[in-house]
Amino acid sequence: MKKIFVDLHTHTKASDGTDSPAGLVRRAAGLGLAAVAVTDHDTLAGLNEAEAAGRSLGVEVIRGCEISTRFGRGEVHVLGLWLPRDPARLGAVQAGLAAVRERRVARNRRIADRLAALGLPVTYEAVRELAAGGVVGRPHFAALLCRQGVTATPREAFERYLGSGGAAYVPRELPEPAAAVALLAAAGATVSLAHPRLIRCAPEELDALVASLVPHGLNAIEAYHSEHSAADERACVGLAQRHGLLLTGGSDYHGEAKPGVELGRGKGGLRVTSAVLERLKTDRRARGLEC
């Protein structure tokens, strides 16, 4: 039977998911997906393992990543698909991602220091242990505070300590969207704006953002996403059409870290067809890029 569905936005243990890269691909094979893009946050660490699993299981694995950037009082996430294997072409991307990771570690250490200064039994090492090799983030601090009885719920931990205005809050230091787009485009990736309807801004601001990113190499809009409604999808299609961009789509699967979001199906109604993937490939071939 022909495989007709794909998932172009997924995460593994290499960042903040719970499946190993090979485990993610095995799950994709079991679901009958034709292709899966591994797009971990700010790292390429799981790509080789995922590709090896894909070759043995007959699942096309697309090398990708997701970069978080700052925009107003929130964030914009940028997806890069078909990152090259050549280390020389990847050098700038690897350096850029390493800088993002280093800033994340510095932020986490500052959060731990602030919590300790408040007299709370928190160390960075304890939070790393709780993360079990995954990317350390504020949810791990919240879980530790709950485990130690400092707060009753993660929500309370964010309200009192970790969220904006909290006693131990440290803002993220992130690159600009245009810089992330240009970095990925220069490496030959297809660059897509992730889940645009989740960006905290007015429609006209989103339109202006997209217009500003196109000259830097933005190729596509992620119209199909687990958190997008049918109306959101239509709005994204219109946004892409206005700016001459392609469409991408994926579940944003994180395994057990995002309960209720299934690989390939999102919250149940997501279906990204192989036709979406083929249009992206056609564009890449027309630009002389591998896929």
Domain boundaries, the chain: 5-89+176-286, 98-162
Q: Is 245 exposed, middle or buried, given 0-12, 13-18 or 19+ CB atoms closer than 10 A?
A: buried
- Give the pLDDT of residue 73: 80
pLDDT < 70 stretches in the chain? 1
Helix 203-213 vs helix 230-242: crossing angle, to nearest 10: 40
- Give the pLDDT of residue 139: 84
- Give the pLDDT of residue 175: 93
How many Å apart are CA 53 and CA 156, to the nearest integer?
A: 41
- Give the pLDDT of residue 153: 93
- Give the pLDDT of residue 1: 57
- Give the pLDDT of residue 150: 96
The Cβ of residue 115 has, within 10 Å, a number of other Cβ atoms equal to 25
Q: Output the six-digit token pair for 68.
A: 């978080």
Residue in this structure with the two tokens 């964030």, named with its chain if needed: 75
- The class of domain 5-89+176-286 in CATH terms is alpha beta
CATH annotation of 98-162: 1.10.150
Nearest to 93 by CA among 24, 45, 38: 45
Helix 87-117 vs helix 138-147: crossing angle, to nearest 10: 30
